[in-house]
Structure 1
Amino acid sequence: MPKTVVVTGASGGIGRATAVAFARRGDRVALLARGEQGLAAAAEEVRAAGGTPLVVPVDVADAEAVDAAADRVERELGEIDVWVNVAFTAVFAPFPEITPAEYRRVTEVTYLGFVHGTMAALARMRPRNRGVVVQTGSALGRRGIPLQSAYCGAKHAVKGFTEAVHTELRAERSGVRITRVDLPGVNTPQFDWVLNKMPKRPQPVAPIYAPELMGACLVHASEHPRRAWWIGLPTVYTVLGSEVWPQFMDWYLARTGIDGQLTAADATADDPVNLWEPADGPDGRDFGAEGRFGDQQWTWDAQIWAGRHHGALAALGAGVLAGSTALVRRRRR
């Protein structure tokens, strides 16, 4: 049965890929973002994939506007079943080169945007005792890295906030679920439109994953909401490395974390920036879901497959163990 789904940051990148992934189920998908060109193109992709789109231009940093957007979604599409927070922005620079205003803006979008979206969703879901909120987390919400202090700080805040809300919902025995999905580096337009103060153009931390794969993971998480999902091998070793040997992570990132995020291409004053205004505004272009690293992106990962099929793997392991035990017993006879 089709559901009503809200996706923030739906004009490009992971948000756009996620909206299309929900559309493939035949869902009614509300597309929340600022960029006009990206929203219009995303709506066409949702329609082509079999879904029903609703374009709602909104800046998630504006709490009242987000709540009003939720009202519009329920009037036009029906009661919200799933709310996916994806929208974010960032500044790519060493900490001393980021201004207070830039830091505030990243925090308002990347952290408070999630708070505003979750508030709007829970205000409608809790009285009905049903619904799922999906938070797009990051490996960088578990471990900070150079050049992305504003983004890392916001994603760490999302983790703490989500854990608090999760325990509150459990305490009231609510039927509403909230889940966080920590993602690795992804090939999105972020690295085309981020405010970059480095001499070279930025790139994701390798290995780089396809946004379509991440969109499928977010859909799966909405169908199987658990406390948190770790997506991709890099996320796993980042989280575990930070917990087990943080000093090694400090040393490793100090040596490789800066150069590993820079390409050989020179940055220019003409590079688009979406911090204050959408890069895909009335006079901009549609950036799509994928960035410029399509020839490097991963479309499959063994850890992602195993995470989705852990039940089958456990059953297989139990079967192998039982068979081995039986074989040993026969040989002892």
Structure 2
Amino acid sequence: MELLNKVIVITGASSGAGRAAALEFAQRGTKLVIGARNESALNDVKEECEGLGAEVLVVPTDTSNATDMTALANAANDTFGGIDVWINNAGVLAAGDFDKTPMAVHEQVVKTNLLGYMNGAHAVLPFFKAQQYGVLINNISIGGFLPVPYGAGYTAAKFGLRGFSEALKGELTQWPDVIVCDLFPAFLDTPGIEHAGNYTGKALKPAPPVYDPVRVAQAMVEVARHPKSNTYVGSVSLLLKFGHALFPELMTKITGLVMRRYLKNADPIALTDGNVFNTVDYGMSSHGRFGWPGKPKVHRKYLLSAALIGLTAGYIISKQRN
């Protein structure tokens, strides 16, 4: 698919990977429809994208609300005469002991991260089927394969999202030009963790290596042009996927241990709902402040070391069991 004048809908476009994606697509002369809860931030993104040559429609949208998502799809179709690519990207995060985190928070995380994507697919598929083509991109993250201790609601949503998408792909085989594409990026340098609901009482930061969200945005552009079922962004994404597939119990224990050790030493911070229930007015850029300097290849020595450690630990555990 050549992207000039194509209609691209992006949710969660006010910051992070969604904002980076809007800027990447804008450079290809697309017609953008951007949705998020923060209308002021969306208008800033609109101004940047128009400066790059795109036509942009802003639609304030809460993805956890099915009516909002239907309105987003209708606005895109009414304004630009169709939808070529729909990107489900909006998400929220909440960290804390499962039983110490309010159930209302877990519920909202699932509503945004799982039902929000389902709402998006439900809203756009009638348009795709009517025109007999379209690309649906789900930005799932490696969290769809690797559980996140102290983020149980997030993990439940991401595991469920991967299952939903796989089921949808099977259902749509009779529509060969309606294509569902899943992205599984590793940890990203976005403001998302600053926006997170935090019930740990400790300052949060992502585990290294942390990748540039522009890499995810570029992957979205590539998948829009050349759709494929699954795309892994960052070498560590595949490493974590296969590590958990080979040694699920070990990987789960290691991630829990790493989290507990980090939280023990992290700086104290006040508990907060973050942006779980409402938008925030800070950290609305594409990037956070956690990225590693250097090009992606810089990470390889760290990944190789982690792989060797994991394989050695797995071998030792298997020998002990035998």
TM-score by structure 1 length?
Answer: 0.84
Classify 1:99/1:45 alpha carbon distance in 2 versus 1 (closer, same or farther; 3 Å): same
RMSD over equivalenced CA pairs, Å: 2.1
Classify 1:81/1:90 alpha carbon distance in 2 versus 1 (closer, same or farther; 3 Å): same
- Measured in 1, the distance between the counterparts of 2:190 and 2:266 equals 18
By how many angstroms is 1:88 displaced?
0.8
Equivalent residues in 2 for 1:76-95, closer than 5 Å: 76-95=79-98
The answer to whether 1:300 aligns with 2:296 is yes
Q: Deviations over 1:55-106 (max 9, x none)?
A: 1001011111211111111111231000000001121111111222111111
Match of 1:324 in 2: none
Moved over 2 A (4+): 257-266, 296-304
CA contact (8 A) 2:129 2:175 kept: no
Partner SS, residue 202 of structure 1 = coil
CA contact (8 A) 1:210 1:298 kept: no
Of 19, 23, 29, the residue aligned with 2:22 is: 19
Bigger radius of gyration, 1 or 2?
1
By how many angstroms is 1:13 displaced?
0.5
More divergent stretch after superposition (198-207 vs 112-121) = 198-207
- Measured in 2, the distance between the counterparts of 1:89 and 1:102 equals 10
- Measured in 1, the distance between the counterparts of 2:253 and 2:149 equals 12
Match of 2:223 in 1: 221
Q: What letter matches 2:126 in structure 1?
A: A
Match of 1:99 in 2: 102
Match of 2:288 in 1: 291
Q: What letter matches 1:104 in structure 2?
A: E
More divergent stretch after superposition (84-93 vs 222-231) = 222-231
Match of 1:203 in 2: 205
Match of 1:36 in 2: 39
Match of 1:278 in 2: 279
Structure 2, unaligned stretches of length 5 or more? 301-322
- Measured in 1, the distance between the counterparts of 2:263 and 2:218 equals 25
By how many angstroms is 1:302 displaced?
8.9
Q: Deviations over 1:21-58 (max 9, x none)?
A: 11111111111000122111111121122211111001
Equivalent residues in 2 for 1:152-171, closer than 5 Å: 152-170=155-173
Q: What letter matches 1:214 in structure 2?
A: V
By how many angstroms is 1:262 displaced?
8.5
TM-score by structure 2 length?
Answer: 0.87
By how many angstroms is 1:260 displaced?
4.7
Classify 1:156/1:48 alpha carbon distance in 2 versus 1 (closer, same or farther; 3 Å): same
Match of 1:325 in 2: none
CA contact (8 A) 2:10 2:34 kept: yes
Partner SS, residue 200 of structure 1 = coil
CA contact (8 A) 1:7 1:19 kept: yes
Partner SS, residue 296 of structure 2 = coil
Match of 2:319 in 1: none
Equivalent residues in 2 for 1:201-280, closer than 5 Å: 201-260=203-262, 264-268=266-270, 273-280=274-281
- Measured in 2, the distance between the counterparts of 1:272 and 1:103 equals 11
How many residue pairs align between the two structures?
A: 297
